[in-house]
């Protein structure tokens, strides 16, 4: 593992993936303050406040508009990476965060709830682009024996982003009413750092050679990333893939969906990406405080309980990162989904056993702690299951489905919780167990295999 390879992995994970995690959790702590701001602004404009239902609807829109922005961003990935490359796309997307931070940071001063919603949608646009491009970039620059390790590094930073939002949201820090605009706009700091430093690193060698036919720059990039002058074997492997694709242009999403030769790869990406969101993980991140309050935890202890769960998520992510090359992809993702399903069922049982607001048994804290160990695998698998011509379209399919399900969960969960109560978690349980069964039956192990070998395995 060379210094340039580790450095660029940490930089793009910090400047992109961490922001995704941060923006998932940042609306949890200041929810009451933002709702109060919306209500006060509505009163100033129209002479009366908002009723409970419309206020919940407006706040649900604020939470879930992030996912709609992400959906749009994921649909743009194919065009952006073809025109600007992987590194170029990440550099340009950082500018979106600076714009979004300005909208959210000045929203209260200008008395505009619309600026919060617009800012959230722009951060979603950035995350939608980066959530696909970061694993695409890392998957293409990593040697095959490190692809799993580097591919899961962004998932650790997603957990770090969630944890950072939980810590900064404590009442002693930015969790006070006067600080929530600053709390939402902190994202400009890591984005600025990525914007300044990313130009120091090369573009993806696979992109340069296979798509741009630039052997010289691809060779120089490999020298930097691998730390050796002997890269001929890697160049030959790329040229073999290039020759196999010489009569195949970069496919569109529609062509990918109609291509029978990659039917099972496409279905696998759909199932795993949709399952990741419908597992309930984002509902937990969006509405942690509400869930813990309904579980009977004293309000004064909820922020610190939330921070504790965030810390354990990081540990789970680290376990996944450092074991994936030994255990493989399949055992990790199957174990993660099974544990999440069992945890969701445990939540239902615990809530049903509540008496007088107190639990006869504690809520299983493993909920949203077991899945982070496998959370980065769907994005890694999307890179591994397809060759260069199909990979951008596959990321569009997986990413757009990911964000559509994210939006659905973020918008529907409060109403699902009100109508179904404790039983709403059984939906998540069923999804998790079905995805685990699909992975067990259909998806082969991809550890230490080249992209061509994986394609031949599916064929």
- Output the domain CATH number for residue 79: 1.20.1250.20
Identify whether residues 187 and 265 lie together within a single domain: no
Residues 256 and 123 in one domain: no
- Does residue 420 register a pLDDT over 70? yes
With cut-offs at 50, 70 and 90, classify the pLDDT of residue 115.
very high
pLDDT of 52 above 70: yes
> Which pLDDT band holds residue 11 (cuts at 50, 70, 90)?
very high
For the whole model, what pTM was predicted? 0.80
Q: Is residue 190 part of a domain?
A: yes
Q: Domain range holding 179?
A: 1-201
The answer to whether residue 408 is domain-embedded is yes
HEC assignment per residue over the chain: CCHHHHHHHHHHHHHHHHHHHHHHHCCCCCHHHHHHHHHHHHHHHHCCCCCHHHHHHHHHHHHHHHHHHHHHHHHHHHHHHHHHHHHHHHHHHHHHHHHHHHHHHCCCCCCCHHHHHHHHHHHHHHHHHHHHHHHHHHHHHCCCCCHHHHHHHHHHHHHHHHHHHHHHCCCCCCCCHHHHHHHHHCCHHHHHHHHHHHHHCCCCHHHHHHHCCCHHHHHHHHHHHHCCCCCHHHHHHHHHHHHHCCCCCCCCHHHHHHCHHHHHHHHHHHHHHHHHHHCCHHHHHHCHHHHHHHCCCCHHHHHHHHHHHHHHHHHHHHHHHHHHHHHCHHHHHHHHHHHHHHHHHHHHHHHHCEECCEECCCCCCCCCCCHHHCCCHHHHHHHHCCCCCCHHHHHHHHHHHHHHHHHHHHHHHHHHHHHHHHHHHHHHHHHHHHHHHHHHHHCCCCCCCCHHHHHHHHC
235 has a pLDDT exceeding 80: yes
pLDDT tens for 185-207 read 999 999 999 999 999 999 999 89
Do 312 and 397 belong together in one domain?
A: yes
- Does pLDDT of 411 surpass 80? no
User: Please, what is the end-to-end C-alpha distance for the chain in angstroms?
Assistant: 32
Would you say residue 356 has pLDDT above 50? no
Q: What is the pLDDT of residue 423?
A: 83
Q: Which residue has the tokens 């059984």?
A: 426
Q: Is 411:286 a contact under the CB 8 Å cutoff?
A: no
Q: Are residues 31 and 178 in the same domain?
A: yes
pLDDT in tens, 285-304: 666 666 677 667 787 887 78
Look at residue 364 and tell me whether its pLDDT is greater than 60.
Answer: no
244 in a structural domain: no
Q: How many domains does the chain have?
A: 2
Judge if 27 and 152 occupy the same domain.
yes
Question: Is the pLDDT assigned to residue 366 strictly greater than 50?
Answer: no
Place of tokens 């591994």: 384
In whole angstroms, give the CA distance from residue 80 to residue 395: 12
Mean pLDDT of the chain: 84
Same structural domain, 26 and 126:
yes
Q: Is residue 210 included in any domain, yes or no?
A: no
Question: What pLDDT shows up at residue 152?
Answer: 82
Question: In the chain, pLDDT over 70 holds for what percent of residues?
Answer: 91
Q: Let me know whether 185 and 260 are in one domain.
A: no
> Same domain, yes or no, for 319 and 448?
yes
Dump pLDDT digits (tens) for 247-258.
Answer: 566 788 888 888
Examine residue 321 and state whether it is found in any structural domain, yes or no.
yes
Nearest-angstrom CA–CA distance, 404 and 408: 6
Which residue among 201, 234, 269 closes a domain? 201
Among 82-91, 148-157, 357-366, whose mean pLDDT is lowest?
Answer: 357-366
Q: Do 154 and 258 belong together in one domain?
A: no
Residue 241 belongs to a domain: no
* Cβ contact 437:275 at 8 Å: no
């Amino acid at each position: 593992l060379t210094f340039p390879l580790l450095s660029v992995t940490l930089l793009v994970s910090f400047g992109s993936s961490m922001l995704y995690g941060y923006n998932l959790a940042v609306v949890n702590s200041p929810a009451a303050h933002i709702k109060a701001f919306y209500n006060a602004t509505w009163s100033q404009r129209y002479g009366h406040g908002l009723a409970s239902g419309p206020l919940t609807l407006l706040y649900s829109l604020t939470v879930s508009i992030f996912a709609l922005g992400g959906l749009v961003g994921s649909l743009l990935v194919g065009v952006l990476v073809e025109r600007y490359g992987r590194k170029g796309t990440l550099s340009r997307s950082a500018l979106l965060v600076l714009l979004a931070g300005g909208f959210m940071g000045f929203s209260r001063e200008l008395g505009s709830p619309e600026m919060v919603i617009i800012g959230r949608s722009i951060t979603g646009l950035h995350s939608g682009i980066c959530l696909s491009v970061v694993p695409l970039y890392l998957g293409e620059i990593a040697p095959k024996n490190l692809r799993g390790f580097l591919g899961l590094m962004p998932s650790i930073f997603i957990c770090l982003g969630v944890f950072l939002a939980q810590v900064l949201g404590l009442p002693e820090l930015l969790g006070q009413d006067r600080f929530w605009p600053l709390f939402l706009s902190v994202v400009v700091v890591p984005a600025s750092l990525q914007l300044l430093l990313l130009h120091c690193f090369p573009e993806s060698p696979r992109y340069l050679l296979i798509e741009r036919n630039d052997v010289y720059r691809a060779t120089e990039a490999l020298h930097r990333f691998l730390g050796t002058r002997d890269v001929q074997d890697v160049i030959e492997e790329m040229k073999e893939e290039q020759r196999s694709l010489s009569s195949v242009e970069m496919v569109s999403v529609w062509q990918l969906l109609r291509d029978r030769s990659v039917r099972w790869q496409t279905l696998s990406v759909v199932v795993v990406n949709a399952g990741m969101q419908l597992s309930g993980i984002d509902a937990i991140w969006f509405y942690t405080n509400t869930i813990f309050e309904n579980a009977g935890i004293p309000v004064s202890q909820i922020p610190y309980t939330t921070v504790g769960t965030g810390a354990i998520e990081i540990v789970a992510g680290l376990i996944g990162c450092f074991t994936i090359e030994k255990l493989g992809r399949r055992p990790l993702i199957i174990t993660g989904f099974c544990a999440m399903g069992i945890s969701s069922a445990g939540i239902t049982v615990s809530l049903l056993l509540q008496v007088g607001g107190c639990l006869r048994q504690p809520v299983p804290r493993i909920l949203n702690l077991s899945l982070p160990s496998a959370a980065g695998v769907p994005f890694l698998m999307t890179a591994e299951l397809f060759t260069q011509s199909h990979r951008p379209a596959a990321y569009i399919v997986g990413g757009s489905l990911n964000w559509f399900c994210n939006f659905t969960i973020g918008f529907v969960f409060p109403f699902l919780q009100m109508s179904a109560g404790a039983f709403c978690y059984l939906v998540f349980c069923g999804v998790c167990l079905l995805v685990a069964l699909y992975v067990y039956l259909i998806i082969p192990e991809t550890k230490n295999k080249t992209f061509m070998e994986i394609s031949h395995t599916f064929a």
